Amino acid sequence: MFKLRELPFDAKSNAVVSEETCNYHYGKHHATYVNNLNNLVKDTKFENAGLYELLVGSEGGLYNNAAQVYNHDFYWDCIAKKSEPSAELKAALSANFTDFKEEFIKAATTLFGSGWCWLVLDPKSKKLQIVQTSNAVTPVTDGKVPLLVVDVWEHAYYIDSFNARPKYLEKFYENINWKFVSEAYEWALKEGLNSVKFYIDELHGKCGCASGCGCH
């Protein structure tokens, strides 16, 4: 069974989201995706599959819930603590974008409806890209390696910012955990999509089990 990961920060003192938002977003929404996923994999060919295998091999409701588990896992790490980007990541952002902050926030602001805005690495070209995905979709499915993500489903910010998505995005950007993003970039360059699988396996094990099978 998959388990809800622990938050990588104290919900009472996060700079991006309030404790009340965490109680709903993490404690209810994220937890529901985990519970749904555990129910949906029962008696299917994916029953003993890991989360990465579900991201690249499943579809429909099973894919949607698996993707939302991963998307939220990654989002919490991106806002765990404010930190500085590595010199390598700074150089890459400057080389790939005229004004990364402006372009990223614009993409996140203009994404219609519910979804996610990502900074990804294309393993083939080694180029950085800003990608919008709707609903549960994750760039991993398209062979891209996530480095940074912001959740723009309304439940991510409505308690704290009401319908003011731009206000939430400014707060998000000013408190990004760039150390995590920098490490994701470093591993993405070295390992490509394998870095995604490694990240997932660190959180959930190789087969989604709770413990005891030796996969952790």
Residue 116 and residue 147 in contact, taking contact as beta carbons nearer than 8 Å: no
What confidence tens digit (pLDDT) does each residue in 108-153 have?
999 999 999 999 999 999 999 999 999 999 999 999 999 999 999 9
Question: Of 197, 210, 205, which Cα lies nearest the Cα of 38?
Answer: 210
Global pTM reads 0.95
Give Cα 119 to chain centroid, integer Å: 10
Helices 87-96 and 178-191 cross at an angle (nearest 10°) of 80
Strands, E assignment, 98-184: 115-122, 127-134, 145-151
Nearest CA-CA partner of 118 in 88, 86, 170, 74: 74
- Looking at residue 177, its amino acid is N
Query: Does position 215 have pLDDT exceeding 60, yes or no?
Result: no
- At the top level of CATH, the class of 19-80 is mainly alpha
Fold of 87-192: minor pseudopilin epsh fold (3.55.40)
The reported pLDDT for the residue numbered 206 is 76
Q: Convert the pLDDT of each residue in 93-104 to its tens digit.
A: 999 999 999 999
Which comes out higher in pLDDT, residue 216 or 188? 188
Would you state the pLDDT for residue 208?
Answer: 60
The pLDDT tens digits for 150-179 are 999 999 999 999 999 999 999 999 999 999
Residues of the chain with pLDDT > 70: what percent? 95
Domain ranges (residues) in the chain: 19-80, 87-192
Is residue 11 predicted with pLDDT exceeding 70? yes
Give yes or no on whether 19-80 and 87-192 have one common fold: no
pLDDT at 212 (0 to 100)? 37
Residue 183 has pLDDT above 80, yes or no: yes
